[in-house]
Chain A
């Protein structure tokens, strides 16, 4: 079945579209999911898209993007291609369990929809998990990602049909990182809304890598939600590598919920993308929880990247570190909006935030806005933001040793970016990302894998 949104870019259009396609969208859904969708579409209908200049979306007005004409499919389409031919991720010496999402649906490539290990670890298709483990999934799905005043989460909740499910039971460790490769490949402009759910039980550990790729030159719009639960003393590390082409528009909504002494680290590396909006919302729900939010974006031409973060300190003795860095070339625009919210009971909070940006041209623009809302009196919070150029003294020093202007600039940009990259734990992945960033800065990156598509213009 194929449907297209026409002319009007209003929220009502989406609601109407949902009602019309509901039987197909929710085909085979267990009761709790049907209810969740109903609630979601109701909230979306009440709220609509954020209006122009709404505070949280001041520099990124998304409604026009959602009003464009995209095809949307509610059943997995068979696309005649050999994935191994088109795509193989080449991170040398990094052993991962690769899971693919193709246009919003779990792509089994001959494997099982859900893999269940002897130690209780489960990973694979979320769609299948909602049916096979209704109690487990029902306990978590939609419980962390808020839909009120979050129209993109509500919209995704109503429409999403598949994505990746990961469950690591208490005291278990994922032996190898799970690598989720989110591929867009179509014969037409297309919109995709998928959903991921990761649950890390008590004392467990999970490393997850998410790669966003486009494999055909069509326009794509993605509105995805990833819900993450870190139970008591769990340790979760997520790295998201965004490398889509310039005609792709992406909204990611990541919600992390952490219980007592849980640790999380979320890194977003944006190498390419036409318009990217990353919403990261972390709730520190238990005492002693710690989170790190890292971000690096390298953009040029007319690319636009907006990182929006909310860190909620709800309990005492929690710590949070945020570091976001951007290099902007040509007419690129960037936004960083980082909110730290300290609740009344959250004494002894430590919350730090920094945002540093380099503008390489007079026409690149960066908007940066820290927001500290503090209701406790015994806290340590700090924020700092800079927007500047490359250090002239350093540039001259390098040139005086015979290094060309271009190469000198590159070394300095790379050094700037490396601050974030150096914090990636896994050495093989760190080296790979470091290599990709260098290629990106040299303007040589047209793809970060062995795919045969030349996605960049």
Chain B
């Protein structure tokens, strides 16, 4: 098993956002986590990559037999965890090439490999750029600076391709994309699917899941996974909307009273 989350509770400024999450992810699987706004989807993603603004108050996250909570954000990345950010930050003055080369070589160093020479790295970049059809010359640009919404999301998947993670968490990678960009990004992700890695796709809409077909779909609502199923659950959700889940849950809540 790659990732095993047990009864995870996470608070932000003393407000509990996640109220007991259980999730298991195996290599080769794609999990989709869906839910209405404010259900805690991004909190889950942030907790997995170790953003310290989010306090884990209870529970366990086991990753390849290691206690993930003991690892720094950079060590999580070196262990193969990747987050595709919902809002990638612009970093003026840090060049894409310098940033990515540093990142790739930090990962190589962690694995005991020699750093890539400049020429080899540029070659690798050219190759991976094709996965998400980036044709602009990244060598002269700063990290995300002046990138359009679509470019920023493509750039996240491009980084995923370069860093080759075992577990990729894609946080609302579809938000703000037009249909063409969505297709490019989704195709990019599909090209990176392998039997030995796993992907958690976090999304509000089912639209993305028409391109990235998940093995499992989980519905997150008020900090809990309230329903799990296969890809058909997403279709159902699209048909009935989130009100369907809310009503169903509220009925259950009434019955249990």
Using a CB–CB cutoff of 8 Å, the interface residues on chain A facing chain B are 391, 393-394, 396-405, 407-408, 411-412, 414-416, 418-419
Q: Is B77 interfacial (CB-CB < 8 Å)?
A: yes
- Given A407-B106, A411-B98, A416:B93 Cβ within 8 A: yes
Beta-carbon contact of B102 and A397 below 8 Å: no
Chain A residues near B142: list those with CB within 8 A: 415
Chain A residues near B106: list those with CB within 8 A: 401-404, 407
Chain A residues near B17: list those with CB within 8 A: none
Beta-carbon contact of A401 and B89 below 8 Å: no
Q: Is B88 interfacial (CB-CB < 8 Å)?
A: yes
The residue that B103 contacts in the complex, of A393, A402, A418, with Cβ under 8 A, is: A402
Chain A residues near B99: list those with CB within 8 A: 398, 401, 403, 411
Chain B residues near A407: list those with CB within 8 A: 102, 106
Whole-angstrom CA separation of A399 from B49 in the bound complex: 10
* Chain A residue with Cβ nearest B159: A401
Using a CB–CB cutoff of 8 Å, the interface residues on chain B facing chain A are 49, 51, 72-74, 76-78, 82-83, 85, 88-89, 91-94, 98-99, 102-103, 106-107, 110, 142-143, 159, 163
Beta-carbon contact of B51 and A402 below 8 Å: no
* Chain A residue with Cβ nearest B100: A401
Chain B residues near A416: list those with CB within 8 A: 93
Beta-carbon contact of A399 and B93 below 8 Å: no
* Chain A residue with Cβ nearest B51: A396
Chain A residues near B82: list those with CB within 8 A: 400
Beta-carbon contact of B103 and A411 below 8 Å: no
Beta-carbon contact of B98 and A404 below 8 Å: no
Chain B residues near A398: list those with CB within 8 A: 91, 94, 99, 103
The residue that A394 contacts in the complex, of B72, B73, B91, B107, with Cβ under 8 A, is: B91
Beta-carbon contact of B93 and A415 below 8 Å: yes
6 nearest A-B pairs in the assembled complex, by CB-CB distance? A415-B93, A402-B77, A401-B103, A399-B73, A415-B94, A402-B106
A-B contact pairs, 26 of them (CB 8 A): A394-B89, A396-B51, A396-B73, A397-B88, A397-B89, A398-B94, A398-B103, A399-B73, A400-B74, A400-B76, A401-B99, A401-B103, A401-B159, A402-B77, A402-B107, A403-B103, A404-B106, A405-B72, A405-B74, A407-B102, A411-B94, A411-B98, A411-B102, A412-B91, A414-B94, A415-B91
Chain A residues near B93: list those with CB within 8 A: 414-416, 418-419
Least CB distance from A315 to B in Å reads 35
- Given A411-B98, A411-B102, A415-B142, A400:B92 Cβ within 8 A: no
Least CB distance from A416 to B in Å reads 6
Beta-carbon contact of B94 and A402 below 8 Å: no
Chain B residues near A403: list those with CB within 8 A: 74, 99, 102-103, 106
The residue that B163 contacts in the complex, of A397, A402, A418, with Cβ under 8 A, is: A402
Least CB distance from B115 to A in Å reads 13
The residue that B77 contacts in the complex, of A401, A411, A419, with Cβ under 8 A, is: A401
Beta-carbon contact of B89 and A402 below 8 Å: no
Beta-carbon contact of A400 and B107 below 8 Å: no
Chain A residues near B103: list those with CB within 8 A: 398, 401-403
Whole-angstrom CA separation of A412 from B88 in the bound complex: 16
Chain A residues near B74: list those with CB within 8 A: 399-400, 402-405, 408
Which of A407, A408, A412 has the most chain B CB atoms closer than 10 A to its own CB?
A408
Chain A residues near B159: list those with CB within 8 A: 401
Least CB distance from B111 to A in Å reads 11
Chain B residues near A391: list those with CB within 8 A: 89, 91
Chain A residues near B77: list those with CB within 8 A: 399-402
Whole-angstrom CA separation of A359 from B219 in the bound complex: 44
Least CB distance from B77 to A in Å reads 4
Least CB distance from A356 to B in Å reads 12
Whole-angstrom CA separation of A405 from B98 in the bound complex: 16
Whole-angstrom CA separation of A377 from B192 in the bound complex: 62
Chain B residues near A414: list those with CB within 8 A: 93-94
Whole-angstrom CA separation of A411 from B76 in the bound complex: 20
Chain B residues near A396: list those with CB within 8 A: 51, 73
* Chain A residue with Cβ nearest B92: A415
Q: A394-B89, A397-B88, A401-B106 are in contact. List 11 more A-B contacts (CB 8 A).
A: A394-B91, A396-B51, A400-B49, A400-B73, A403-B99, A403-B102, A407-B106, A412-B94, A415-B92, A415-B94, A419-B93
* Chain B residue with Cβ nearest A413: B93
Whole-angstrom CA separation of A451 from B213 in the bound complex: 63
Which of A393, A400, A403, A414 has the most chain B CB atoms closer than 10 A to its own CB?
A400
Chain B residues near A402: list those with CB within 8 A: 74, 77-78, 103, 106-107, 110, 163
Least CB distance from A271 to B in Å reads 18
Least CB distance from B95 to A in Å reads 9
* Chain A residue with Cβ nearest B106: A402
Least CB distance from A397 to B in Å reads 5
Chain A residues near B98: list those with CB within 8 A: 411
Chain A residues near B85: list those with CB within 8 A: 397, 400
Chain A residues near B78: list those with CB within 8 A: 402
* Chain B residue with Cβ nearest A396: B51
Whole-angstrom CA separation of A328 from B94 in the bound complex: 20
The residue that A397 contacts in the complex, of B72, B91, B107, with Cβ under 8 A, is: B91
